[in-house]
Amino acid sequence: MKNFNLSAIAFAIGLIFSASAMAESMTKNQYKSHVKSIETEYKVDKARCDSLAGNTNDICVAVAKGKKNAAKAELEANYKPSVKTRYDANIAKANADYSVAIEKCDGKAGNDKDICVKEAKAAKVHQIADAKTRMKSQKANAEAIETSGDAQAVANEKSGDANATAVETKADARKDATIEKRDADYAVAKQKCDALAGSVKDKCISDAKLHFGQ
């Protein structure tokens, strides 16, 4: 359904939480006001879905819920900025996209549906892996800065050790993310091979294993 695609979530959140609209610091009353606005908009969006039926209705509801949940998480990240709230906001967006994608898969059948589900899961894995990498990198940077500041009063060489640890942590995070993404992409490729048969299918699976290092 063209009117309820994944971009609707990101677009709506962008409108609500644009840089110009959100102040660097937010009062408790402002926070509560934003929460009410999100809930009100959700009710309006949900009401629009009532005129739809079947899978079209399911997609519409998923978009509305995903938009609400992602908006609330984004609001929390702006109200209480931290590495964790930013990570939670990224995860909320990943879950929102996934919910909509899965509903869209229900409009398919057979192996096409299976592929659709695998692709939806792979997209979620990519988003979560990227979110984890950013979170670990931010934590590593913060720890390096803190350690460097304390170390200078004791020994300057410790600053270098802290930076080296941060670099290693970020490298490990990127490596973990790459593995998770590769495994998810392999699952998609393997599912696509199931539409084939005989030696063609065997070659498809063999090529997929080779390509994704399985």
Give DSSP secondary structure letters for 124-167. Answer: HHHHHHHHHHHHHHHHHHHHHHHHHHHHTTT-THHHHHHHHHHH
Q: Are residues 35 and 133 in the same domain?
A: no
Q: Are residues 137 and 66 in the same domain?
A: no
* 80 φ/ψ angles, rounded to the nearest 5 degrees: -130, 75
Q: Are residues 25 and 51 in the same domain?
A: yes
Range of the domain at 101: 1-107
Q: Are residues 114 and 103 in the same domain?
A: no
Answer with the one of 91, 107, 123 that is the final residue of a domain.
Answer: 107
107 vs 71, 99, 205, CA distance in Å? 27, 14, 27
Answer with the one of 78, 107, 136 that is the final residue of a domain.
Answer: 107
Q: Are residues 99 and 168 in the same domain?
A: no
Q: Are residues 141 and 181 in the same domain?
A: yes
Report d(CA 190, CA 192) in Å as an integer: 5
Q: Are residues 24 and 74 in the same domain?
A: yes
Answer with the one of 107, 131, 148 that is the final residue of a domain.
Answer: 107
Report d(CA 65, CA 71) in Å as an integer: 10
Supply 210's token pair.
């080779």
Q: Are residues 92 and 117 in the same domain?
A: no
Q: Are residues 67 and 116 in the same domain?
A: no
Among 71, 18, 21, 15, smallest CA distance to 42 is for 71
Q: In the chain, which residue ranges form alpha helices assigned H by DSSP?
A: 7-16, 28-49, 54-79, 83-105, 110-151, 157-193, 198-212
Counted domains in the chain:
2
Q: What is the mean pLDDT of each run of 10 residues along the chain (214 residues)?
A: 48 45 73 97 96 96 97 96 95 97 96 96 95 87 67 51 63 81 90 90 91 87
CB atoms within 10 A of CB 50: 10
pTM of the shown model: 0.72
Q: Are residues 37 and 7 in the same domain?
A: yes
Q: Are residues 141 and 172 in the same domain?
A: yes
In residues, how long is the chain? 214
| pLDDT value of residue 138 | 83
Q: Calculate the dihedral angle through the C-alpha atoms of 179, 184, 185, 190, rounding to the nearest 10 degrees.
A: 120
Report d(CA 118, CA 115) in Å as an integer: 5
Report d(CA 126, CA 94) in Å as an integer: 9
Q: Are residues 142 and 202 in the same domain?
A: yes
